[in-house]
């Protein structure tokens, strides 16, 4: 199953994705981590994205779609994956839908982490102090929130319109509380995905 962890910066996507990976053995695919790794090695891709990331801007759709397409071709995601930080625009979601459709797959679950904006800013500033992430200064955080509202929030409507399984998760509380809520939803979706199709009765066509 392909699950998408969705939510604003600071909502706990990375933390909860790591739990899903541990609990359900689904590879964690974080586009933010992949881009940070590229930036750290100074590859051409890394050099291109580093200034955008440092400014809290999204990187261009075609670029990130290329990165994720390559990642989804690797064998470990055959059994599924948890996507963290992708898709972040409706164009990315459409590109993902097309990619998956070619292999008769789709996004099986979207987990949307809901956290009030004041809590988000506090969490991000705390993370900046602890981890020294250069995209977590007050100005950059504001820019990331603007990008989220403008470009990323509509992705949820895209999936709702498509009839995908969207679970809104209360992202406030302890990490363990949120983990339990997420766990329940993933287990439910996996149960539904693995349940065999009901057998059709030929005689009455039901």
| Residue among 88, 165, 179, 181 flagged as catalytic | 88
Cα radius of gyration (the chain): 18
Query: Contacting ligand AMP (CB under 6 A), which of 123, 144, 158, 181?
Result: 144
Only segment of 27-35, 94-102, 157-165, 184-192 that touches ligand AMP (CB under 6 A)? 27-35
Residues 4, 13 contacting (CB under 8 angstroms): no
Catalytic residue list contains 151 = no
Residue 10 binds to ligand AMP (criterion: CB under 6 A)? no
Interaction of residue 7 with ligand AMP, rule CB under 6 A: no
**Catalytic status, residue 144:** yes
Contact (CB, 8 A) for 11 and 171: yes
Q: Are 155 and 58 in contact (CB under 8 A)?
A: no
Q: If binding is defined by CB under 6 A, does position 59 make contact with ligand AMP?
A: yes
Which of 8, 92, 141, 158 is in the footprint of ligand AMP by CB under 6 A?
92
List all residues 6 or more positions away from 93 whose beta carbon is below 8 Å from its beta carbon.
87, 155, 158, 159
CA dihedral 162, 114, 112, 136 (to 10 degrees): 120
| Cβ closest to ligand AMP, residue 61 vs residue 190 | 61
- Pick the binder of ligand AMP from 3, 53, 110, 115 (CB under 6 A): 53
- What is the C-alpha separation between 108 and 105, in angstroms, rounded? 9
Residue ranges that bind ligand AMP, judged by CB under 6 A: 9, 31-32, 35, 52-53, 56-59, 64, 85-86, 88, 92, 135, 144
């Amino acid at each position: 199953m392909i699950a998408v962890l969705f939510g604003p910066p600071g909502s706990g996507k990375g933390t909860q994705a790591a739990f899903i990976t541990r609990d359900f053995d689904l590879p964690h695919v974080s586009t933010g981590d992949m881009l940070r790794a590229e930036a750290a090695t100074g590859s051409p891709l890394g050099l291109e994205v580093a200034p955008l990331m440092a400014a809290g801007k999204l990187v261009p759709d075609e670029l990130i779609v290329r990165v994720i397409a390559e990642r989804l071709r690797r064998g470990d995601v055959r059994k599924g994956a948890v996507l963290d930080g992708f898709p972040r625009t409706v164009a990315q979601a459409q590109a993902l839908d097309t990619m998956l459709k070619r292999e008769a797959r789709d996004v099986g679950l979207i987990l949307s982490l809901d956290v009030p904006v004041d809590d988000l800013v506090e969490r991000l500033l705390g993370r900046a102090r602890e981890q020294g992430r250069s995209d977590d200064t007050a100005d950059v955080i504001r820019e990331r929130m603007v990008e989220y509202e403008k470009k990323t929030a509509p992705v949820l409507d895209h999936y709702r319109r498509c009839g995908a399984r969207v679970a809104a998760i209360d992202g406030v509380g302890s990490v363990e509380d949120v983990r339990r809520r997420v766990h329940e939803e993933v287990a439910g979706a996996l149960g539904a995905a693995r349940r065999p199709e009901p057998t059709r009765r030929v005689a009455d066509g039901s």
